[in-house]
Structure 1
Amino acid sequence: MKELCNKKNISVLELARQIDQTPQNFCKKLKRDTVTLEEVKQITDVMEVIFE
């Protein structure tokens, strides 16, 4: 996720805000690898990438 953020020139904190998550909660989810499928779909929409 961090690598994709770097490529899209957006911070992980800004991504969290754009998907209506607190930065703290989102970072914890990334560390624990507990991001839901719905959140992944939101992330791909924000990042303008295709989710397969």
Structure 2
Amino acid sequence: MSAAKKIKMMLLQREMTMAQLAGLLNKSPSTLSGKITRDNFSENDLKEIAEKLDFSCDIVFTDKKTGKTL
């Protein structure tokens, strides 16, 4: 599932609009909308969004050959 879809799901759970989230992030709604449309987020973006929506954000890398995570 894409990061953009997960963000939309978090917004639904919090009954919040993208414009409200943009305000919490001190970004314009059009800037946030563009990032969502392109699904273009840095790790820091994702952590900040999760924090503002009271979610945790854990990024895990899994070795496909061994199944071990980093």
TM (norm. structure 2) is: 0.68
Alignment of 1:8-47 (within 5 A): 8-47=14-53
Aligned-residue CA RMSD (Å): 0.9
The answer to whether the 8 Å contact 2:25/2:49 transfers is yes
Gaps of 5+ in 1: none
Identity rate, percent: 17
Which structure's residues are more often helix, by fraction? 1
Q: Return structure 1 stretches of 4+ with deviation > 3 angstroms.
A: none
* Unmatched segments (≥5 aa) in structure 2: 1-6, 59-70
Q: Which has the higher contact order (CA 8 A, sep 6+)?
A: 1
* AA partner of residue 18 (structure 2): V
TM-score, normalisation: structure 1 = 0.88
